[in-house]
Structure 1
Amino acid sequence: MWEDAAVRITGGMEGDAYVLTVAGELDHEDEAEFRDALTVAVQGGSGRLVVDFSGLEFADSTALHGLLSAQRLLAPQRRELVVTGPLRAHVARLFEISGTADQFSLVDSTEATRDR
């Protein structure tokens, strides 16, 4: 578990997926923690990587950079990265204004990923 005053990140295997849960506020000050958590997630699983942003209240480009980097590492392994919500308006807007919404599998809940 990675935790500071602004962000809480936990992760582990759930079925055939590695689920990384990110809550609180994720910004440039948390870049190292987020990157480390994603590295563990990429190395620690063989199936899908699910990043649960349902508890994320704020995110800046740190979130996008981390997700894009993880996706590049997963692609050669033919592993999928799924971002789950429901996303708060500010976080959803980050994907929209950056033009990256279509770069990720965005689903409403972690439970919905079990049907994929």
Structure 2
Amino acid sequence: MAALELSSTRHGDRTVVAIKGELDIVSRTQFTAHLDRVIREHGRKIILDFSGLSFIDTSALSTVVAYWKRLSAAEDGMLVLAGVEYTTARVLWITGLAQRLPLYDDVEAALAAT
């Protein structure tokens, strides 16, 4: 099992959260604590960089969806995904969420579009 590594980088009013390793029921608490800290300290505009993600399970995906709904509902909020690969995040396509969540090829494309 690959340990979860999270880092954040500010880009103007947006924060890129890079995710490396496995995002699952075990690492979900670490992930939510990191996102809550980013929101509290930097605001509600977040790009999740999945390019370093090796696995995501449905429990972690439900957490991503919950943050997407919460942030999208806020006047100054957004949550988009960048660098999502089918091989590591098949669950996005299987559940139909790949058609609903804002997805970009990479962080640069997400920054340009948002």
**Do these two structures clear the TM 0.5 threshold for a shared fold by scoring above it?**
yes
Q: Which runs of 5+ in 2 are unaligned?
A: none
Q: Which runs of 5+ in 1 are unaligned?
A: none
5 Å-filtered alignment, 1:1-116, equals 6-46=3-43, 48-74=45-71, 75-91=73-89, 93-116=90-113
Paired residues of 2:68 and 2:80 also in contact (CA < 8 A): no
Percent identity reads 30
* d(CA) in 2 for partners of 1:80, 1:69: 12
- TM-score, reference length from structure 2: 0.85
- TM-score, reference length from structure 1: 0.83
Aligned length: 112
* d(CA) in 1 for partners of 2:50, 2:59: 13
* d(CA) in 2 for partners of 1:78, 1:65: 22
Q: 1:42 to 1:102 in 2, by over 3 A?
A: farther
RMSD of the alignment, in Å? 2.0
